[in-house]
Each structure stands twice: as C-alpha cells, then as structure tokens.
C-alpha cells in the first residue's frame, strides 16, 4: 500500500482531529489520554493556518487510500532567541506502522528544516518507546537528557528523554 506525504491545509482539520483522537485511543505514547483532547474542528483549522503562516513551523501528513495515517508537526519558537528551533510531535496509526511512513515524514521534515534555515529540532519521548527512539536515532537525533517522572501514565511514573538534532554547525 502506497502513501503520500503532504503539507496539511485547513480543509484537513476534521480528519487531523479524528486521527489525533484515534492515536490517543490506541497509544499510551501520546501526550493526551483518550477523551482529554478538547479542540474543536474550528480550533484545529486555526492551528493549521498558524503553522502554514509561520516560516519556522511545518505540519505534514501521510495519506494512504485517501485517509490520513500519520502526521508530524514542527512548531517553531516565537521568541527571537528560539526562532531557529522547532519542537516536534508525531504519530502514525498502528495499522500503518512498519510501512516507512515515519521515515518519510522525517525525510520531508529534514528537507523543509534545511530549506527554512532551522538549526535545531527537538522532541521528548518516553524512555520505553524503543520503536520511536530507533526512528529518531536513525534520523540523526541524539539523547540530550532525561526528564525524570515527566509523565504519569496509567498510575505509573514515566521518564522521558530529551532528544535533539542540530542541522547547522557553526
């Protein structure tokens, strides 16, 4: 089954929100628990427009058979001191994992980031999310630190790694 990576537009708001709800339901690795995501379609439309208008932000999706199977957001900093940096969030539905979608999203991210003059990409990941850590490491991210007791998932404390990728040496 093939897929295409493309920038999301405000017309994708309903489908992106549905994708995020599905990811919240099927994965304990997302930030929000099932039912905790309260954004409306209109709020997601506005968020998508904000990403499109910001020169240091990107919102892309992986589409297969006319359906969003995953997404990646890179939110650039607004303050002058962090405009060179973007924080990432990504998710791929379980049924589409292992097809290369994650790698394709990160390849598109890398192309955009270099073209946009970004210097730093960063994310956090639960320390036991080995599959995601392997994807991030394969795409040039390094573990930079540990956030102890960063999250409480199903009543248990979870540590997270800070991971980053430097695109420009100076």
CATH number for the region 4-122 comes to 3.40.630.30
Q: What angle do CA 92, 98, 100 make, to 5 degrees?
A: 80
DSSP state of 28: T
Residues 71-123: pLDDT tens digits?
999 999 889 999 999 999 999 999 999 999 999 999 999 999 999 999 999 99
Mark out the alpha helices in 116-163 (DSSP H runs): 130-138
Region 26-36: mean pLDDT is 86
């Amino acid at each position: 089954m093939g897929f295409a990576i493309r920038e999301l537009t405000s017309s994708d708001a309903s489908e992106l929100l549905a994708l995020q709800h599905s990811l919240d339901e099927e994965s304990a690795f997302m930030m929000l628990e099932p039912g905790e995501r309260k954004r409306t379609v209109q709020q997601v439309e506005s968020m998508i427009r904000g990403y499109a208008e910001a020169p240091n932000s990107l919102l892309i999706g992986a589409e297969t058979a006319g359906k969003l199977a995953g997404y990646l957001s890179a939110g650039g900093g607004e303050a002058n001191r962090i405009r060179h940096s973007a924080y990432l969030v990504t998710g791929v539905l379980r049924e589409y994992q292992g097809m290369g979608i994650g790698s394709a999203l990160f390849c598109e991210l890398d192309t955009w980031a270099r073209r946009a003059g970004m210097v730093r990409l960063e994310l956090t990941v639960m320390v036991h999310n080995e599959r995601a850590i392997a994807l991030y490491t394969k795409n040039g991210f390094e573990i930079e630190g540990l956030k102890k007791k960063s999250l409480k998932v199903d009543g248990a404390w979870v540590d997270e790694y800070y991971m980053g990728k430097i695109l420009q040496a100076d």
